[in-house]
Amino acid sequence: MDLNKVSVVRWFEDTNKHSCGYCKSENSISQGMWAESLTVDDYQELIDRGWRRSGKYCYKSLMEQTCCPLYTIKCDVINFLLSKSQKKVIKRFNKFLKDGNIKYEDNIQFEEPDNHSDLHQNHPKMNLSDLSASISNSIQQNNLTSIETPSTSNTDEIDLNEMDNSQQKTEKICDKASNSSQLKVNTKTPLKVGVGADPTKPPCKKAKILRIERKKAKGLQFQKSPPVSNQKSLEQFLEEVSQNDKKKLRMCLIPTSVPNSTWKASEDIEFQLYKKYQMVIHNDPPSKLSLDGFDRFLVKSPLKPKQFPEGIDGPGYGSFHQQYWINDRLIAVGVIDILPRCVSSVYFFYDPDYRSLTLGTYGSLREVQLTRYLQKNLPHLSSYYMGFYIHSCPKMRYKGKLTPSYLVCPETYHWVPIEKCITLLEANKYSRLEEDIDAIDENLPTQRDISEIQVVYQRHLMHYDDFDEFGDESEKFKLIANFIGKKCCRSLIFWEQ
Q: Where are the domains of the chain?
A: 3-159+235-442
Cα→Cα distances 104→354, 356, 458, Å: 10, 6, 62
Backbone angles phi, psi at 392, to 5 degrees: -75, -10
The whole-angstrom separation of Cα 327 and Cα 446 is 56
The whole-angstrom separation of Cα 457 and Cα 324 is 45
> Each residue's pLDDT tens digit in the chain (497 positions)?
566 679 999 999 888 888 887 888 888 899 999 999 999 999 999 999 999 999 999 999 999 999 999 999 999 999 999 999 999 999 999 999 999 887 765 444 444 444 544 444 455 544 555 556 666 666 555 543 333 333 444 433 323 333 333 333 333 333 443 343 343 434 444 445 555 666 666 667 777 777 777 777 766 554 555 555 568 899 999 998 877 888 999 999 999 988 888 899 999 999 999 999 999 999 999 999 999 999 999 999 999 999 999 999 999 999 999 999 999 999 999 999 999 999 999 999 999 999 999 999 999 999 999 999 999 999 999 999 999 999 888 777 788 889 999 999 999 999 999 999 999 999 999 999 999 999 999 999 999 999 999 999 888 888 887 776 666 778 889 999 999 999 999 999 999 86
- Identify whether the C-beta of residue 463 lies closer than 8 Å to the C-beta of residue 455: yes
Backbone angles phi, psi at 358, to 5 degrees: 50, 55
What confidence score (pLDDT) does residue 229 get? Answer: 54
Cα→Cα distances 281→1, 45, 114, 277, 362, Å: 46, 33, 7, 6, 17
The whole-angstrom separation of Cα 426 and Cα 489 is 35
At position 37, the amino acid (one-letter code) is S
DSSP H or E stretch at residue 423: helix 418-427
Q: Which residues contact 16 (CB under 8 A, 6 or more apart)?
A: 29, 30, 31, 32, 59, 122, 123, 124
What confidence score (pLDDT) does residue 174 get? Answer: 36
Cα→Cα distances 272→119, 252, 465, Å: 18, 18, 50
Backbone angles phi, psi at 123, to 5 degrees: -80, 160
Q: Most distant CA pair in the chain: distance in Å?
A: 100
450 three-class SS: helix
What confidence score (pLDDT) does residue 362 get? Answer: 96
Q: What is the DSSP string of 101-129?
A: -----TT----S-S-SS-------SS-HH
Backbone angles phi, psi at 161, to 5 degrees: -100, 80
Cα→Cα distances 45→135, 340, 342, 424, Å: 23, 10, 11, 26
Cα R_g (the chain), whole angstroms? 27
Q: In what order do the strands lie in the sheet with 329-339?
A: 249-255, 318-326, 329-339, 342-350, 383-389, 71-76, 405-408, 415-417
The whole-angstrom separation of Cα 72 and Cα 251 is 28
- Identify whether the C-beta of residue 323 lies closer than 8 Å to the C-beta of residue 336: no
What letter does residue 171 receive in the DSSP assignment? Answer: -
Spell out the long-range contacts of 151-155 with Cβ–Cβ below 8 A and sequence spacing 24 or more: 151/315, 151/316, 152/252, 152/253, 152/254, 152/255, 152/260, 152/262, 152/315, 153/253, 153/313, 153/314, 153/315, 154/251, 154/252, 154/253, 155/251, 155/253, 155/315, 155/322, 155/369, 155/370, 155/373
Nearest to 458 by CA among 432, 495, 425: 495
465 three-class SS: helix
What's the pTM? Answer: 0.79
